Amino acid sequence: MQPSTSSVPYTNGTSSTAHDNNLEGSATDNNLKCKEGKEVNGHSHGEGKETKHDKKDKLPRISNKFRKYVVVDTHPNGGASILRTDWNNIRKHFDTEERMEFAKQFIRLGLAESNGVPVFVIGVLENAASYLVDVFQYLHDKHPQLPVKFSGSFLDKKACTCSGWLTHNKQLVETMPFNSYYKQVMETCHHGTFR
């Protein structure tokens, strides 16, 4: 029996999306075997090399109630493993205590290593910071006189000449109130990117 190509269950309870088709059987089978026929659970791999499945066996476990909310993606350019979940789903289905437990398990899994090498390049909690205020707007509204230090005259449009910026000295540090800095940034901010 081959797993579906859309989702392969990991033995730690997470699922991969369409990338681990080298296993026969399911995560609950007692005698999982690689396609080459070498035992996985018995760890008799011949050459002594650790297979991809061995790494999964050693990963921290995710409890059954959280498994369907955790996804492991494999990046198409290089094959890096990415651990992710949507925090809105966690908030919707679990109370505060359960969310705390989920966070601990997710972080423990996200920081897991195999032979000193991280298993995941990044752990993403989508929508987890949605409740936070925009810090830039907050500082503008609540602390307009806060001094801001920045390098060079990159905000001063009058300093621009045909040959480029008048001040190329990156060691030159200027100071202005946050309110002024905010206004100049907003003049050059397009679609959320400061240019």
Q: 177 or 168, which is more confident?
A: 177
**Residue 84: closest CA among 74, 75, 94, 71:** 71
Q: How many DSSP H helices and E strands does the chain contain?
A: 5, 15
> Rounded to the nearest 5°, which phi and psi values hold at 100?
-65, -40
- pLDDT of 168 reads 55
Contacts of 42 (CB under 8 A, 6+ apart): 31
- pLDDT of 47 reads 46
pLDDT at 31 over 50: no
pLDDT confidence band for 186 (50 / 70 / 90): confident
- pLDDT of 85 reads 97
**Residue 14: closest CA among 68, 57, 93:** 68
Helix then strand then coil, % of the chain, to nearest 5:
30, 25, 50
pLDDT at 2 over 50: no
pLDDT confidence band for 190 (50 / 70 / 90): confident
> Rounded to the nearest 5°, which phi and psi values hold at 125?
-105, 90
- pLDDT of 170 reads 60
The rounded distance, in Å, linking the Cα atoms of 89 and 14 is 16
* SS3 category, 160: strand
State pLDDT tens for residues 68-122: 999 999 999 999 999 999 999 999 999 999 999 999 999 999 999 999 999 999 9
Reading phi first (left if > 0) and then psi (alpha if -120 to 50, else beta), residue 49 is in beta
State pLDDT tens for residues 108-165: 999 999 999 999 999 999 999 988 998 999 999 999 999 999 875 554 444 444 444 4
